[in-house]
Structure 1
Amino acid sequence: MIVGGTAAAGSSKKARKTYLGMIHSIQLTGSAPKMPRINNPVIGFSEDVARRLHHPHDDALVVSLQIGDYNMHRVLVDNGSSADILYYPAFQQMRIDKEWLALTNAPLMGFGGTKVFPLGAIILVVTAGDYTQQITKEVTFLVVDFSSAYNAILGRPTLNSWKAVTSTYHLMIKFPTKYRVGELQGNQIAARECYIAMLEMED
């Protein structure tokens, strides 16, 4: 689990107390802030999708996304991450000038139990799914200079903004779009390759 970063809780003690207080007030009053009404398609997963996979499995959900002008493979979808992460080697391959990074003082926890300070933050346009059932939104990535088999991590900030539903059993993400439900299938081969690569990094 990765915690910290630019999550809604903020980086100061006061911001974190306010963040916790919000949910307490909703629990006590029973009234939450109004949200805009949108078409609410029912999102489900069929057993037919699962049949395309090797079972039994405990593979991670690893997908490919269009990030900026690049088709980026080995993106880990992590419901346990409070931040969207772009690893520095992938950032370098995108040939984006380091000067585009915005300074951030929000540390991340979860990388070997130590605090890791990002090199900076960058907003990039991300597209997921197939035309016409796709979603395109700006995502704030924290760029981290840390060894990983993955190029990026898609965490809760983006998954929640997409209203995405993930299924690790089906290795799939689904999300509402203007034209019904979009989907993104995980790559089981890439998931196992990344898993083995991460284990070998520990040796």
Structure 2
Amino acid sequence: MLPLVVDPIIGKTRLSRVVMDGGSGLNLLYAKTYDAMGLSWVAIRPSGAPFHGVIPGLQAVPLGQVDLPMMFRGQANFHTEMLTFEIADFLGAYHAILGWPCYAKFRAIPNYTYLKLKMPGPHMVITIGGNL
């Protein structure tokens, strides 16, 4: 099965390789991506809670947390929410990983067979197609 990869706008930057992982309990943004977005490190709050499962067999400790606005866009429809991201200082294949906190905040429903993500928008249902 292919991963559901989307291209939301986080902060003011459209990220093209963001994986939706409904089994993850956090939203993860890589430090390299954070730097490339041109965001200030002053906004990062301390976070001492380690997490597991991103690096096989190892525990990872985030550099901190940051709250950023994130938007999914449909054709004439959009949905924006403020999400908390853990900042991770290791390399990954994606720009970010969005877990169940994102699904819950956006009230999003994935369909991994068709690589689609659906959520309510202000005018109608927003359907986001996954990127291969």
TM range (shorter): over 0.9
Q: Which amino acid in structure 1 is aligned with residue 21 of structure 2?
A: D
The structure with more radius of gyration: 1
CA distance in 2 between counterparts of 1:76 and 1:180 reads 24
More strand by share: 2
- Percent identity among equivalent residues? 31
Corresponding residue number in structure 2 for 1:107 = 50
Aligned residues: 131
2:36 is the counterpart of 1:93: yes
CA deviation after TM superposition for structure 1 residue 178, in Å: 2.1
CA distance in 1 between counterparts of 2:104 and 2:40 reads 29
CA distance in 2 between counterparts of 1:107 and 1:90 reads 20
Work out which of the residue numbers 61, 69, 86 in structure 2 matches 1:125: 69
Q: Which amino acid in structure 2 is aligned with residue 162 of structure 1?
A: F
CA distance in 1 between counterparts of 2:116 and 2:107 reads 14
TM-score (norm 1): 0.62
Q: Are the counterparts in 2 of residues 86 and 141 from structure 1 also a CA contact under 8 Å?
A: yes
CA distance in 1 between counterparts of 2:75 and 2:44 reads 30
CA distance in 1 between counterparts of 2:40 and 2:64 reads 12
Q: Are the counterparts in 2 of residues 133 and 183 from structure 1 also a CA contact under 8 Å?
A: no
Select the structure with the greater relative contact order (CA < 8 A; seq sep ≥ 6). 2
Unaligned ranges ≥5, structure 1: 1-57, 189-203
Corresponding residue number in structure 2 for 1:168 = 112
CA distance in 1 between counterparts of 2:36 and 2:122 reads 33
CA deviation after TM superposition for structure 1 residue 133, in Å: 2.3
Unaligned ranges ≥5, structure 2: none
2:26 is the counterpart of 1:83: yes
1:167-186 superposed Cα distances (whole Å, 9 cap, x missing partner)? 11110100012211011110
CA deviation after TM superposition for structure 1 residue 132, in Å: 3.3
- State the superposition RMSD in angstroms: 1.0
